[in-house]
Amino acid sequence: MASDFALEMLSAAALLLVFCIGVGLLVAAILFALDITQTRSAVRRNYPLIGRFRYLFEHLGTFFRQYFYAADREEMPFNREQRSWIYRAAKNLDNTASFGSTQDIHKPGTVLFANSAFPVLERDALPTTPLVIGPDTDNPYAPESIFNVSAMSFGAISKVAVEALSRGARLANCWLNTGEGGLSSYHLAGGCDIVFQIGTAKYGVRDASGQLSDARLRELADMPQVRMFELKLSQGAKAGKGGILPASKVTSEIAVIRGILPGVASISPNRHEEIGSPGELLDLIGHIRAVSGKPVGIKAVF
């Protein structure tokens, strides 16, 4: 009885193996036919089926380099050591490290904090006098922190990420720059100070023709959280070009915030039409400052 059952199991296993091999050969034949007839990839056409492993290994290479080959401080723009520190800080875990640093402190440009022979006791330390920005404006701004959250538009990052940055900026008592994509409710959700960035496409402060809208400027300036305006002159990530948001990312919500059509690629000009000289730059800064009553700065990439 037991031997009969064993034979039946072996027969079933053999049939399953034959079936799997048959399916595998059929799939391989289909992929071979697809590869040798397609004209989009020279690798797959010249090396049908086998050429697919190249793209698989390219994809897996990212993970192998991250976990097996790259050292803790090799990756860009943020290495494993920096990411680990951020992860622990975000989870309220201890992020201090004893016994020195893994960073090469002898590299030129490394920031070091030198010890003092007779440092000021903490009880005697005086608060740092804040730097007042725009002291001659109607609404000068005295930020509490010299470290702040730089520009990243809603659309380039998700609403969850924007709201997380807003709440984090509030906890850190620093400002959050909106990026050129306009001001959303997610920027305001955390209650932090806001720096509204005006890009070359005037997203969030444009009229129907795409020009700067004074009415929209006043509307934003009336918001207590909006403390300053920043005039963005150029795109740091794409020299000589403007910002790009693919059509697939331009949802109806993003379109309303930016003042553009939904489902259409959002491509900013490579510079402000109104600015062709230093004098015209100062004129536009003065105009925004006069309309808003708040400090106005610039972002320039050289």
pLDDT for the residue 102: 77
pLDDT for the residue 90: 82
pLDDT for the residue 197: 97
pLDDT for the residue 239: 67
pLDDT along the chain (302 residues), means of 10: 75 90 93 92 91 89 79 80 86 79 83 87 88 94 92 91 96 95 96 96 92 95 97 75 83 93 88 92 96 94 72
Distance from C-alpha of 239 to C-alpha of 145, rounded to nearest angstrom = 30
pLDDT for the residue 1: 60
User: Do 275 and 298 form a contact (C-beta atoms < 8 A)?
Assistant: no
Nearest 5°: the CA angle 73, 178, 259 is 135
pLDDT for the residue 70: 77
pLDDT for the residue 189: 96
Q: What is the DSSP string of 186-254?
A: HHHTT--EEEEEE-TT-TTSB-TTSSBPHHHHHHHHTSTTEEEEEEE-S-SSSTTS--EE-GGG--HHH
* Domain boundaries 132-299, corresponding CATH code: 3.20.20.70
pLDDT for the residue 236: 65
* Strand 244-245 with 296-299, pairing: unpaired
pLDDT for the residue 218: 96
Domain boundaries, the chain: 2-90, 132-299
Give Cα 253 to chain centroid, integer Å.
Answer: 19
- DSSP state letter for 133: B
